[in-house]
Amino acid sequence: MNMEDVKRDLKAVDLFKKWMLRKLGDNTDKEHWLKMSYEYLLDRLKEETRELETLLLDDKVSYKHKKVILECADVANFAMMIADKARLGKIF
């Protein structure tokens, strides 16, 4: 990978991080993920993945770029929550 690719990747990650944080901010009224079970988080990850798949396969939605990005952020956030629990050694 050349330096241009690395710069482009870093920019993409930085922009995506902002979408993830936006979606997390929309849910500050909910219980923190460290208090949620792996089973619940995995079920939500699967649900968000299904929502993303449905959106991507729906050819009736003409302009859906922002919706796709937000669904991807939801998927990423639930994966991050599971990873964070694992990082901390949480077993419940």
- Residue 32 sits at φ, ψ, to 5 deg, of -70, 145
CA distance 9 to 31: 32
For residue 45, tell me if it sits in a domain: yes
| Tens of pLDDT, residues 5-25 | 999 999 999 999 999 999 999
Q: Which helix (H) or strand (E) holds 71?
A: helix 65-87
| Tens of pLDDT, residues 49-70 | 999 999 998 877 667 889 999 9
The residue segments making up the domain with residue 63 are 3-87
Q: How far is CA 36 from CA 47, 55, 71, in A?
A: 16, 27, 21
Domain count, the chain: 1
For residue 38, tell me if it sits in a domain: yes
For residue 28, tell me if it sits in a domain: yes
For residue 92, tell me if it sits in a domain: no
CA distance 26 to 40: 19
Predicted TM-score of the model (pTM)? 0.89
CA distance 57 to 61: 9
